[in-house]
Amino acid sequence: MSPRFYVLLAGFFSQLLCLGVARFAYTPLLPLMQQQSVLDDASGGYLAAVNYLGYMAGALLAASLSNLKLKDTLYRLGLILAVLSTLGMALTTNVWLWSLWRFVAGLSSAGSMLIASGLIMHWLLSHKQRAELGIHFAGLGLGIAMSALLVELMLSLQLDWRAQWHYLALFGVLLAVPAWRWLPRPAAVTTAAHSRSADTPPSVRFYRLMLASYFCAGYGYVISATFIVTIVERMPGLSGSGNLSFIVLGLAAAPAVLLWDLIARKTGYLKAIMLALLAQSAAILLPLWFSSLTPVLLSAALFGATFVGVVSLVLTMAGRLYPSKPAKLMGKMTLAYGSAQVFAPALTGYLAEVSGHYDIGLYLAAGFVALGALLIAVLIAMDNTAQQLDALK
């Protein structure tokens, strides 16, 4: 196997650990923790918000770093924190301590999503490899499916929520090994390494509209990503199908990143992002209009295939605009994405607690995502930077 695939697989396994286990195992475990009376709708949404606050803090850190060796150290620290934060969830029933561990899990996921992405992008460019992160981000989708499958397996063994967190932490240790070993320590940056890849800073208008659009995408993404299992479990006749929907979501997301890479080569990055956002908005609305299992699973598949496409395309685009320091723009874009994720789960959890359902939260999420697509359309029509970027196929 070529060194390129080992590097990409290191990122893949870091995604399985930091996102699949540390971050997203919370979603399929949330209904069980609610059933066993350790969480309610409001506190469940609050913990999700704290997790995204940690992710945003990690994004801010990633955006401020330029030293490759420091980034590498923090990436490896993130792998350790992912395991510790997962174990920590099993060791308490105190919501404030849970908040600490969800915050730490958010930090670790930023390390995998942003710092690892930047390190891998740097390695690819300096070794004259195609600058695409599809295999790396495939770990996000498979991580989601993996966490749901593991929770479903442990439910069949009648393990309670605490035992499940214990076993997930143990599994996380196994995932950390290839994530640690297969990402090379960064070599010193040479001028020649990036002589063919000069930075091309976007216009101010491009920057502002792109940040606003990604904020909208973040709002829509977090509602389904956090509450989909609980929402499906509460639908008439669909009790027991929540984890299945999350598995379908993850399995659809895994190959989708490679598909969106191909679409972007044909259409340009911005048109591909706009298309993904429009499809994601439709995916969020489907469970509101049709409550049978087939459309709900179709919704989950479409959502999984589109949200990971948006993330992969935006972060790859950031890396192409700033090949010498990709994590800086990646981090700033993720601050916009993550800031919506801090208050959206808490607001949605509160609305669900008051109204007894998640309909209002889903309509808000779909509306925000559609607005994000509209902003990309404005960007394509009005901005020269957008047209130049679309030439990168």
Instruction: State yes or no: pLDDT of 393 exceeds 70.
Output: no
Per-residue model confidence (pLDDT) at position 280:
95
Per-residue model confidence (pLDDT) at position 153:
93
Per-residue model confidence (pLDDT) at position 281:
95
Q: How far apart (Å, rounded) are the C-alpha atoms in residues 217 and 237?
A: 30
Instruction: State yes or no: pLDDT of 126 exceeds 50.
Output: yes
Per-residue model confidence (pLDDT) at position 312:
83
Per-residue model confidence (pLDDT) at position 353:
81
Tell me the C-alpha to C-alpha distance, in Å, between residue 249 and each of 49, 133, 208, 388.
21, 20, 30, 33
Q: Give the structural domain span for 218.
A: 3-184+197-390
In a domain, 341, yes or no: yes
Question: Is residue 168 very low, low, confident or very high in pLDDT (cuts 50, 70, 90)?
Answer: very high
In a domain, 191, yes or no: no
Residue the block writes with tokens 């950390």: 176
**C-alpha angle 387-368-47 in degrees, rounded to nearest 5:** 120
Region 157-164: mean pLDDT is 93
In a domain, 65, yes or no: yes
Phi, psi of 197 (to 5 degrees): -130, 65
Min mean pLDDT across 91-95, 111-115, 172-176, 295-299 is at: 111-115
Q: Coil, helix or strand for 43?
A: helix
Q: What is the pLDDT of residues 201-255, one digit of tens each?
A: 778 888 889 999 999 999 888 787 777 778 888 888 888 788 888 889 889 988 8
List the one residue out of 225, 216, 284 whose CA is nearest residue 250.
225
List the one residue out of 223, 160, 253 whose CA is nearest residue 231.
223
Residue the block writes with tokens 């706009």: 274
Per-residue model confidence (pLDDT) at position 89:
95
Q: How far apart (Å, rounded) are the C-alpha atoms in residues 132 and 78?
A: 23
Question: Is residue 111 very low, low, confident or very high in pLDDT (cuts 50, 70, 90)?
Answer: confident
Min mean pLDDT across 96-100, 288-292, 307-311, 326-330 is at: 326-330
Encoded amino acid at 108, one letter: S
Per-residue model confidence (pLDDT) at position 190:
45
Question: Is residue 195 very low, low, confident or very high in pLDDT (cuts 50, 70, 90)?
Answer: very low
Domain of residue 79, CATH code? 1.20.1250.20
Phi, psi of 383 (to 5 degrees): -110, 130
First-to-final CA distance of the chain:
27
Q: How far apart (Å, rounded) are the C-alpha atoms in residues 83 and 169?
A: 5
- Percentage of residues in the chain with pLDDT exceeding 90? 34
In a domain, 273, yes or no: yes
Q: Which two tokens stand for residue 237?
A: 């006749």
- Under a CB-based contact definition with an 8 Å cutoff, are residues 69 and 17 in contact? no
In a domain, 190, yes or no: no
Contacts of 344 (CB under 8 A, 6+ apart): 49, 218, 219, 222, 223, 365
How many domains are there within the chain?
1
Region 247-269: mean pLDDT is 87
**pLDDT: is 224 or 9 the higher one?**
9
Instruction: State yes or no: pLDDT of 122 exceeds 90.
Output: no
Per-residue model confidence (pLDDT) at position 157:
92
Per-residue model confidence (pLDDT) at position 206:
85
Q: How far apart (Å, rounded) are the C-alpha atoms in residues 143 and 139?
A: 6
In a domain, 326, yes or no: yes
Q: Coil, helix or strand for 377?
A: helix
In a domain, 189, yes or no: no
Instruction: State yes or no: pLDDT of 364 exceeds 70.
Output: yes
Q: What is the pLDDT of residues 36-53, one digit of tens each?
A: 877 887 888 888 889 888
* Mean of per-residue pLDDT scores for the chain: 85
Per-residue model confidence (pLDDT) at position 191:
42
- Percentage of residues in the chain with pLDDT exceeding 70? 93
Helix ranges (DSSP H) in the chain: 3-15, 26-35, 41-64, 68-90, 95-110, 116-126, 134-156, 161-181, 204-233, 242-267, 269-289, 293-321, 326-355, 359-382, 384-390
Instruction: State yes or no: pLDDT of 382 exceeds 60.
Output: yes
In a domain, 22, yes or no: yes
Instruction: State yes or no: pLDDT of 386 exceeds 70.
Output: no
Tell me the C-alpha to C-alpha distance, in Å, between residue 277 and each of 19, 134, 377.
21, 18, 11
Q: How far apart (Å, rounded) are the C-alpha atoms in residues 305 and 147?
A: 17
Per-residue model confidence (pLDDT) at position 389:
64
Tell me the C-alpha to C-alpha distance, in Å, between residue 187 and each of 6, 86, 112, 132, 237.
16, 32, 19, 20, 56
Q: How far apart (Å, rounded) are the C-alpha atoms in residues 243 and 225?
A: 12
**pLDDT: is 81 or 356 the higher one?**
81
Instruction: State yes or no: pLDDT of 194 exceeds 50.
Output: no
- Under a CB-based contact definition with an 8 Å cutoff, are residues 216 and 372 in contact? yes
